[in-house]
């Protein structure tokens, strides 16, 4: 770490602090309370350079995305130097806010997410074909997953009946991990979107698909604010139709993905999946019950 810090050539190092929280395998250090240094193996260096470039583009569209200063390699490891945004992630911070403060923070986060969707996908990117193929792979793996068989059938049938809604959808940048753990709160306000490691391209509305799974259990006002802010309080019915489809798809991928973890984590994901299913009344409803009145 010291050699990399010397290479980036900051004028002086007054303080460094290692960050331990998060699912990423990156080594993360706060430097001078101004910079965030992320260090990682260079096996996926091309993907990480793409991530760095995306962060750089996004920071020009929204002041709530950290600025990207430097990317490089040294002694078999890659690194990126970003702006450090102060604050706590939403999972820790939202419970300390009033319901109105939670809603306003969510609203601002939704506004800023929409700005990032100005970045268009590469030419000829076909969202329908890409997502349908990925879903079919999850269906194949779902067969061996520990989950109620009638629910598996219900999810498959719902998705197959509604997947046509993806045809002709625009393709833009997707953050692909938009939920409270990757959204920062400081002084009771939303201050940042972080963690762009999953960045992808596809339907911009897909970026809201994890809200019922990861955001609603933390804060319903914040989650409602995300959607209201994204649409500036003018939410079309066509969004809810797609939201129901994307929520069902995420339930399938989550229970499949959970099989690679220990029993406790797998059960956690199954429990969250059931919560989403109930919120959609076993997918009789595209718009979940926590979003009524939006």
Q: Write the pLDDT tens digit of every residue in 36-60.
A: 999 999 888 999 999 999 999 999 9
Buried b (16+ CB within 10 A) or exposed e, 102-111: bbbbbbbbbb
Domains of the chain: 2-83 (3.30.200.20), 88-291 (3.90.1200.10)
pLDDT over threshold 80, residue 8: no
Return d(Cα 278, Cα 176) in angstroms, integer. Answer: 24
Do 202 and 131 form a contact (C-beta atoms < 8 A)?
yes
Mean pLDDT of 137-166: 96
Report the share of the chain in percent with pLDDT over 70: 97
pLDDT over threshold 90, residue 4: no
Q: What is the pLDDT of residue 74?
A: 87
pLDDT over threshold 70, residue 23: no
Bigger pLDDT: 60 or 16?
A: 60
Q: What is the pLDDT of residue 294?
A: 95
Do 22 and 195 form a contact (C-beta atoms < 8 A)?
yes
Mean pLDDT of 17-25: 79
Do 68 and 82 form a contact (C-beta atoms < 8 A)?
yes
Q: What is the pLDDT of residue 28?
A: 93
Structure tokens at 209: 């698909």
pLDDT over threshold 70, residue 2: no
Do 24 and 197 form a contact (C-beta atoms < 8 A)?
yes
pLDDT tens for each residue of 96-145: 999 999 999 999 999 999 999 999 999 999 999 999 999 999 999 999 99
Catalogue the E-assigned strands of 93-209: 172-174, 183-186, 189-193, 200-202
Mean pLDDT of 72-77: 88
- 1: helix, strand or coil: coil
Give how far Cα 293 sits from Cα of 19, 111, 158, 228, Å: 40, 19, 24, 11
Return d(Cα 102, Cα 84) in angstroms, integer. Answer: 23
User: Could you tell me the pLDDT band of residue 1, with boundaries at 50, 70 and 90?
Assistant: low
């Amino acid at each position: 770490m010291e050699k990399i810090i010397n290479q980036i050539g900051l004028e002086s190092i007054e303080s460094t602090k290692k960050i331990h929280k998060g699912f990423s395998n990156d080594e993360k250090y706060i430097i001078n309370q101004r910079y965030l240094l992320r260090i990682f193996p260079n096996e996926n260096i091309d993907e990480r350079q793409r991530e760095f470039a995306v962060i750089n583009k996004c920071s020009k569209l929204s002041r709530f995305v950290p600025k990207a200063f430097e990317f490089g390699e040294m002694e078999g490891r890659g690194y990126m130097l970003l702006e450090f945004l102060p604050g706590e992630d939403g999972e820790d911070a939202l419970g300390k806010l009033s319901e109105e403060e939670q809603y306003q923070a969510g609203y601002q986060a939704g506004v800023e997410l929409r700005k990032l969707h100005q970045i268009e996908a590469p030419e000829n990117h076909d969202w329908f074909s890409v997502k349908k193929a990925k879903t079919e792979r999850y269906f194949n793996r779902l067969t061996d997953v520990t989950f109620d068989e009638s629910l598996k059938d219900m999810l498959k049938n719902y998705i197959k009946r509604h997947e046509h809604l993806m045809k002709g959808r625009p393709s833009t940048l997707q953050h692909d991990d938009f939920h409270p753990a990757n959204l920062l709160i400081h002084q009771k306000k939303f201050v940042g979107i972080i963690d762009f490691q999953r960045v992808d391209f596809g339907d911009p509305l897909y970026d809201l698909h994890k809200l019922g799974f990861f955001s609603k259990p933390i804060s319903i006002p914040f989650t409602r604010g995300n959607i209201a802010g994204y649409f500036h309080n003018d939410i079309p019915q066509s969004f809810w139709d797609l939201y129901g489809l994307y929520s069902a798809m995420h339930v399938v991928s989550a229970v499949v993905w959970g099989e690679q973890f220990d029993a406790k984590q797998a059960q956690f994901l199954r429990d969250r999946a059931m919560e989403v299913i109930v919120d959609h009344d076993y997918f009789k409803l595209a718009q979940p019950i926590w979003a009524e009145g939006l």
